[in-house]
Structure 1
């Protein structure tokens, strides 16, 4: 069964070569299948065979561990992870020559216990999705190998070597749970990536209209928030003078600067070509929403966009409106848009509330 699962992961990797964790998991399951069969059928008269099988299972667990690291975007190979595989084979051969067979077997199972415990702890404690049910299931499945190997070590110390059936059945049950959880982990991440693509603007990384509506629906109460309607001034002239690639760079620059001003509960969305919407949850750093809007306007005006050895100056106009109790977000958005329209009539590059100019352009 482990071999079948390994071939499934190998097939998944052949379709998505960039997903290297599939290759590590395939290698882990295929090596484990060979070793489990070896424990069940290989002759025990040759100590070197047992040592090789112990090393194989250690390598299988390490491959699974490295696959999890690769899945998390980490470097798969980490020098501290190599010492146990490198030392297990010669150490086990040495133990076989110096200790009775039962203690030598117990030593091997102890090495497996340590490796399985380390892989389990990493899976449960690291990774952005470590709190998800599939990830926890995966970590607990790995941890289930710990008592299996510990029991095998105890049986070896007691001189009971007829535990091949126990090892085989335990491995098949745990392996099935582990593989299902691994596939669930990858499917969950793929679903999150698709959701992010559906809810985010591909150029700036800000939310799109659908994403903004989704986040507002999740956010609950809107009263007390402030809506900012933002428009980059004379953006068509930037495209005409420097090219659309330069215009994209200016958009990305503004989104990056705006994102730096966000606090907990704040939202940033790109709702049109050069149009953005910010939803501010309240004060941040002692600055009110209208002061924060002015800070953003001033920061963008004072931070030209680098482009091909030069700088592209740009400014923004901002209209803002508070979401008062009993007022819908759409009504507040319309009020902010009307304020933005008045800003453009007044000469752009300033902030205006829905009722009056909050901050004129700095002299």
Structure 2
């Protein structure tokens, strides 16, 4: 059954315009999402091209045909670029310009070497199939660690468009070259336009869902992450610590490190709060270097940091704490472009029976003991005031 091309073209035009307006609205709300602007421009260009086809027909004058082909190609190219931008890649105008120039050069050869409109339509379909495939690939790139469930739907829609466009091009090339510039032949009988309409509707919906999913995920991460250092915050630490302890078993050796930067108020007085922020960021980076991948670290509040060590006993935990203390004391940090010595006091407490709250209280007591003994020290506290307590100092 051959579908009415004009009706499908009108539907395509309406869908593309709606997609452009919707993307523009959301971009106006979230100006930092450049990919939405790119999608807006892409669908707007596609809408202009479809409008010209609707006005001049499937076989437009020679002066109008190539610009329409170029606009359709550019719109799909920008759609691919919008997916790249969504994945955090930088906009590369020179690369886009080079791709367009290559396409124009090949299009000029096709226009010069052929007289039938179908050969140009086949070339365009093949080009758009390649760009749709690249968009699907970009959505599912393996180097993208961000998990979004709607990515699969986006990739499937781009893939469907690529398959239909490629099939249209192949069937068009296999047909006898009987068509002239006055006759347009669609080997799929308008089916490609129907699939394109459905795909654009689906892509527009999936696009907004994917953007909303990313925003919701970022809000959840921000609620559990310290914005300054990028470390987990206190809320995440307490929740995750309970899960790790349940997974490892209550009898597994574990200990808590409570750390506090020494004389941090003086850093703020000398360098301002910006300098204090730089000191916190530097110490957070040092913790990432010194700790193991399975250790749970968090900015507990202010200049205070906390670490859960699962596996090391009291002696091993003391060695790791001393490694952190000595590493910070040995190398001044850069604050406001100047080197400044920074030290940390650390309190350690063993974790028994999976009681994280009790261990935190003991580690806090050990921390105050280290502070009271002169700072730049590691102190331990096991809950028994009569026991001999280790105290390591630089």
Instruction: Return the TM-score normalized by structure 1.
Output: 0.87
Please tell me whether the aligned partners of residues 124 and 136 of structure 1 are also in contact (alpha carbons under 8 angstroms). yes
Q: What residue is the counterpart of 2:264 in the other structure? A: 235
1:54 alignment partner, one of 69, 78, 82: 69
Alpha-carbon displacement from aligned partner over 1:174-205 (angstroms, at most 9, x marks no partner): 11111222212221221222122212223333
CA distance in 2, matches of 1:341, 1:130: 41
Counterparts in 2 of 1:217 and 1:22: CA distance versus 1, 3 Å? farther
Q: What residue is the counterpart of 1:198 in the other structure? A: 223
CA distance in 1, matches of 2:258, 2:98: 58
Aligned-pair CA distance for 1:6 = 0.5
Counterparts in 2 of 1:174 and 1:273: CA distance versus 1, 3 Å? same
CA distance in 1, matches of 2:275, 2:263: 14
1:258 alignment partner, one of 274, 277, 287: 287
Asked if 1:248 is matched to 2:247, the reply is: no
Asked if 1:185 is matched to 2:210, the reply is: yes
Structure 1 stretches lacking a partner, 5+ long: none
CA RMSD of aligned residues (A): 2.8
Superposed, which structure 2 residues align to 1:38-53 within 5 Å?
A: 38-39=52-53, 42-43=56-57, 44=59, 46-53=61-68
Aligned-pair CA distance for 1:82 = 4.1
Q: Which is further off, 168-177 or 326-335?
A: 326-335
Alpha-carbon displacement from aligned partner over 1:233-277 (angstroms, at most 9, x marks no partner): 233344445544433332222222112223222222222322211
1:153 alignment partner, one of 153, 169, 173: 169
Q: Which is further off, 333-342 or 143-152?
A: 333-342
Asked if 1:32 is matched to 2:57, the reply is: no
Counterparts in 2 of 1:40 and 1:290: CA distance versus 1, 3 Å? farther
Q: What residue is the counterpart of 1:214 in the other structure? A: 239
Q: What residue is the counterpart of 2:112 in the other structure? A: 97
Q: SS in structure 1 opposite 2:247?
A: coil
CA distance in 1, matches of 2:369, 2:170: 81
Aligned-pair CA distance for 1:218 = 4.8
Aligned-pair CA distance for 1:289 = 3.1
Q: What residue is the counterpart of 1:23 in the other structure? A: 37
Q: What residue is the counterpart of 2:374 in the other structure? A: 347
CA distance in 2, matches of 1:344, 1:54: 73
CA distance in 2, matches of 1:161, 1:332: 77
Q: Which is further off, 77-86 or 265-274?
A: 77-86
Counterparts in 2 of 1:302 and 1:98: CA distance versus 1, 3 Å? same
Bigger RCO (CA 8 Å, 6+ sep): 2
Alpha-carbon displacement from aligned partner over 1:66-111 (angstroms, at most 9, x marks no partner): 1122222222226555444323344234323323624443222212
Aligned-pair CA distance for 1:172 = 1.3
CA distance in 2, matches of 1:115, 1:235: 55
2:356 alignment partner, one of 303, 323, 329: 329
Aligned-pair CA distance for 1:45 = 5.4
Please tell me whether the aligned partners of residues 279 and 335 of structure 2 are also in contact (alpha carbons under 8 angstroms). no
CA distance in 1, matches of 2:54, 2:357: 69
Aligned-pair CA distance for 1:333 = 1.4
